[in-house]
Amino acid sequence: MPSIRHSDVELRCICCGDPFVYSAGEQELFALRGLLREPHECPTCRKLLGHRWN
């Protein structure tokens, strides 16, 4: 199975509107956990919302 190469991506949080980087390492971790979509919230908002996968 070929490995997928991830690269850092800049996204914008839907909660606070701030830009944040979805790093290659985070993408790999999310994929390992079966989370296939990009996050919609920045790390700060994810903590405030209490997402278990953060």
Residue 1, pLDDT above cutoff 60: no
Q: What is the pLDDT of residue 2?
A: 52
Q: pLDDT tens digits for 12-54? A: 999 999 999 999 999 999 999 998 899 999 999 999 988 655 4
Q: Does residue 54 lie within any of the structural domains? A: no
Q: What is the pLDDT of residue 53?
A: 53
Q: Cα–Cα distance between 5 and 15 in angstroms, integer?
A: 28
Q: What is the pLDDT of residue 6?
A: 87
Q: Does residue 4 lie within any of the structural domains? A: no
Q: Does residue 2 lie within any of the structural domains? A: no
Q: Does residue 27 lie within any of the structural domains? A: yes
Q: Does residue 1 lie within any of the structural domains? A: no
Q: Does residue 37 lie within any of the structural domains? A: yes
Q: Cα–Cα distance between 44 and 13 in angstroms, integer?
A: 10
Q: What is the pLDDT of residue 10?
A: 98
Residue numbers of the domain that contains 44: 9-49
Question: Which of 31, 24, 29, 28 is CA-nearest to residue 9?
Answer: 24
Domain count, the chain: 1
In this prediction, residues 4-18 reach a mean pLDDT of 93
